[in-house]
Amino acid sequence: MISDGFFDARVAASYDRLHGQDAPGALSEMVNQLEALATDRTALEFAIGTGRVALPLVSRGVEVAGIDYSGSMIKQLRAKDGGKDMAITIGDMASATVNAQFSLVFLVYNSIDNLTTQALQSACFRNAARHLKPGGRFLIETLVPPLQRLPFGETKLAFAAEDDHWGIDVFDTVSQQYTSTHIRFEQDGEVERLSIPFRCAWPAELDLMAQMAGLALEARWADWSQAPFTNTSTSHISIWHKPEEQEETKRP
């Protein structure tokens, strides 16, 4: 039996409430872009979670399958409209397979960082490639490693300082691994602490992983509005494509 890991029943039950507060229109803009990239109306989402992206795509007529290792997160998805009959594989997105190929494989909300070694991240690219039809695309949304914000010699960087939520990242700049710790102050007086390990990767590093998986960079945006990616961008949406099959050269 696969463990839910850091995304157990307690985390899954509150996930949408704590992490689903997208800026007005942001989710719609994301879904618009994903729908356009799913050229034959098929898509596979790695780390599908509670379905907050996949289900809006399904409502637009895109046939979406998903992979996620947390059964508790999938339980939340199944309880939503449109989630009951979705094809879901419980497993690691770096290795779990679906018996189908798709025009789009996508991995959003920084979830590539949940794979905590370079080897696992590279395996994820290979897994995406094997699920793509010729001409299909693999899309990742993630952060640019924020290491430039670290003062020399420091390893800690705060990312949240609110009345009910404190957050801090602790980085190992050599391995590019980091641990995100959330401390939440609940209304009933309870204090909850959750620490999760991650690994960040530079865009150029992801491009090399893609190249090794037989994929080529097609586009890189700073956000879902397709704003240009620059040296001041803090996040990126990157799209790599799988080449069309080449016809075999026939001998005369």
Read off the CATH number of the domain in which 154 is found. Answer: 2.20.25
Q: What is the DSSP letter of 64?
A: E
The mean per-residue pLDDT over the stretch 109-130 comes to: 98
- Inside any domain, residue 250: no
Do 35 and 86 belong together in one domain? Answer: yes
Domain boundary (196, 213, 230) is at 196
User: Other CB atoms closer than 10 Å to residue 53's CB: what's the count?
Assistant: 23
Buried b (16+ CB within 10 A) or exposed e, 69-95: bbbbbbebbeeeeebeebebbbebbbe
**pLDDT at position 24:** 54
State in Å, rounded, how far the first CA of the chain is from the last one. Answer: 56
Retrieve residue 248's tokens.
């075999």
Q: Report if residue 247 sits inside a domain.
A: no
38 lies in the same domain as 97:
yes
**92: region left, alpha or beta (phi > 0 left; psi from -120 to 50 alpha):** beta
Which residues, at least 6 apart from 111, have a Cβ–Cβ distance to it below 8 Å? 46, 47, 93, 142
158 in Cβ contact with 168 (< 8 Å): yes
Q: What is the pTM of this model?
A: 0.91
179 shares a domain with 191: yes
Are 99 and 33 within 8 A, CB to CB? Answer: no
Average pLDDT, integer, range 189-216? 96
Same domain, 28 and 76: yes
Per-residue pLDDT, averaged over 216-241, amounts to 98
> Residue 128 is part of which domain span?
9-145+201-241
Q: What pLDDT, on the 0 to 100 scale, is given for residue 251?
A: 46
Same domain, 176 and 57: no
Confidence of residue 26 (pLDDT cuts 50, 70, 90): confident
